[in-house]
Amino acid sequence: MTTTPAVREHARSLGPEGLPAYLYDLAALRDHAAAVRAALPRRVELYYAAKANPEPEILAALSPCVDGYEVASGGELAHVARAVPGRPLAFGGPGKTPGELAGALALGVDRFHVESAHELAVLADLAARVGVRARILLRFNLAVPGGHLDGSALAMGGRPAPFGIDPADADTVLRSLTDGTHPHLEPLGVHAHLASGLDAPGLLAVAASVTAWSAGLFARHGLPLREVNTGGGMAVDYTRPGQRFDWTAYGEGLAALADRHPETVLRIEPGRALTAYCGWYATDVLDTKHSHGEDFAVLRGGTHHLRTPATKGHDQPCAVLPVDAWPHPWPRPATTGAGPVTLVGQLCTPKDVLARAVALPAPLRAGDRVLFALAGAYAWNISHHDFLMHPRPGFHFLPGPPATREPHDG
Ligand SMILES: Cc1ncc(COP(=O)(O)O)c(C=O)c1O
């Protein structure tokens, strides 16, 4: 499914001055999140990694289906706490500042994902000062046998990386939590987000390996392993927008893993696989070029709004909404045929490419609309909005005008 009826209808209703625009189908998001939740065993907790898309409307739409939110900065923490008040928060990320940790303690964050022995000491000191016991998961950078992380372009663990604690230091860190060094920290378990872009069998192998390793570690130190968070990383296939991660197989595998570890709560924190499918970047064709034998369409907007194809090096999947009206007396620019067209933005850089060699059923004309799919995650919020000072897109949360706001307030 490249578009939904609500998105097509809304994209048609916008005038050129309303483009580009991000269109979010919140009904589709709710349905998808409910299906994900239903595929998971009840015992498995589902958190949403807010970094994928922290729009308040998205966070709120997910709320009935998730058990909490993972945040990765003091900014995200304050934002998510405002957008979905009272929901459990897990605070992760490398390089947390003392100020951010103090703020998180003041907000009563439910879980800290601690990334180093130093961070442990800082948090313990801050918790002692305010007289609370902070509940922590230790993030480890674990190797996973079987090469399951090798296929990921976004691996953050299992190799030299600045994320998490090296397993070689695990026993030293655990001792500091059992020998009275840090009485204001309550170790609940382990966190290990090791890679993004894995399929269900790959992620299940990672989860099994992480959980078994964690059980051994905590048992060695006489601690109950209450929780294991195996992170996000469920693949989104930008070359096949109609395909989704196999949540059913993943849920079944997690159920079997949970049965092997009945005392431990398993938790996951997907980002992109929850929200990528609910967002579209809608725009129109400003001009076309036939250059050195190839067709280009220059679109309103570009990678300063939708950076995903530039950062990931893929072609953003798209659909065309033909617009037959042409209001000018001069000829309408159009690509030369139904052959491949490269879709670019307005930026003065050859990197401003949204999709290469797109095969279209008919020539693309100035004024035609283009809807880029899978733009609901790591899209607007990772883009370099101010480069060249073009206007910001509109933001529309469907269905219904009450949830619509534009332009984005930054
Ligand atoms: C710690 C952590 N958890 C979860 C995620 C979400 O990953 P994804 O969006 O691939 O599911 C990330 C992404 O970088 C992460 O760093």
Interatomic CA distance for residues 42 and 52, integer angstroms: 24
Tell me the domain boundaries of the chain.
Answer: 92-270, 277-403
Interatomic CA distance for residues 247 and 252, integer angstroms: 8
Assess whether the C-beta atom of 93 lies below 6 angstroms from ligand 1. Answer: no
Residue type, 26: L
Cα-to-centroid distance, 269 and ligand 1 (Å)? 7
Cα-to-centroid distance, 270 and ligand 1 (Å)? 6
Judge whether 336 and 289 are in contact, CB under 8 Å. Answer: no
Interatomic CA distance for residues 398 and 10, integer angstroms: 8
Identify which of 405, 248, 238, 368 has the alpha carbon closest to the alpha carbon of residue 310.
238
| Candidate CATH numbers 3.40.50.2300, 3.50.50.60, 2.30.110.10, 3.20.20.10; the one for domain 92-270 | 3.20.20.10
**How far separated are the first and last CA of the chain, in Å rounded?**
30
Average pLDDT, the chain: 94
Q: Is residue 404 very low, low, confident or very high in pLDDT (cuts 50, 70, 90)?
A: very low
**Would the pLDDT of 236 be above 80?**
yes
Q: For 372-385, what is the mean pLDDT?
A: 97
* Residues facing residue 91 across a β-bridge: 71, 112
**Would the pLDDT of 89 be above 70?**
yes
Q: For residue range 182-226, list pLDDT tens digits in order.
A: 999 999 999 999 998 999 999 999 999 999 999 999 999 999 999
Q: Domain 277-403 in CATH: superfamily?
A: Lyase, Ornithine Decarboxylase; Chain A, domain 1 (2.40.37.10)
Q: For 306-318, what is the mean pLDDT?
A: 96
The verdict on whether 348 is a catalytic residue reads yes
Which has more confidence, 124 or 403? 124
Q: Report the residue count for the chain.
A: 410
pLDDT value for 399: 86
Q: For 298-324, what is the mean pLDDT?
A: 97
Q: Tokens 């933001």 map to which residue?
A: 395
**Would the pLDDT of 406 be above 50?**
no
Q: For residue range 115-173, list pLDDT tens digits in order.
A: 999 999 999 999 999 999 999 999 999 988 888 787 777 777 778 899 999 999 999 99
pLDDT value for 153: 72
Could you give the count of Cα atoms lying within 13 Å of 156 in the half-sphere of its Cβ? Answer: 21
Assess whether the C-beta atom of 139 lies below 6 angstroms from ligand 1. Answer: no
Judge whether 316 and 375 are in contact, CB under 8 Å. Answer: yes
Closest approach atom of ligand 1 to CA 272: 9
The DSSP H or E segment spanning 218 is: helix 200-220
Bond into 399 cis (ω within 30): yes
For the chain, what percentages of helix, strand and coil (3-state, to nearest 5) are there?
Answer: 35, 25, 45
pLDDT value for 278: 98
Assess whether the C-beta atom of 76 lies below 6 angstroms from ligand 1. Answer: no
Interatomic CA distance for residues 249 and 205, integer angstroms: 12
Q: For 226-243, what is the mean pLDDT?
A: 96
Q: For 1-12, what is the mean pLDDT?
A: 89
Residue whose Cα lies nearest atom 1 of ligand 1: it is 193
Interatomic CA distance for residues 385 and 410, integer angstroms: 9
pLDDT value for 154: 75
**Would the pLDDT of 287 be above 50?**
yes
Q: For 173-182, what is the mean pLDDT?
A: 97
Q: For 257-278, what is the mean pLDDT?
A: 98
SS3 343: strand
Identify which of 307, 358, 290, 364 has the alpha carbon closest to the alpha carbon of residue 334.
364
Catalytic residue among 65, 278, 318, 348: 348
Residues whose CB falls within 8 Å of the CB of residue 396, separated by 6 or more in sequence, listed in order:
10, 21, 22, 23, 24, 404, 406
Assess whether the C-beta atom of 157 lies below 6 angstroms from ligand 1. Answer: no
% of the chain beyond a pLDDT of 70: 97
Residue whose Cα lies nearest atom 10 of ligand 1: it is 233
pLDDT value for 155: 76
Q: Is residue 403 very low, low, confident or very high in pLDDT (cuts 50, 70, 90)?
A: very low
DSSP state string for 350-393: TT-EEEEEE--SS--BTT-EEEE-S-SSSSGGGS-TTGGGPPPP
Interatomic CA distance for residues 366 and 56, integer angstroms: 34
Which has more confidence, 267 or 406? 267
pLDDT value for 400: 53
The DSSP H or E segment spanning 229 is: strand 227-229
Assess whether the C-beta atom of 376 lies below 6 angstroms from ligand 1. Answer: no
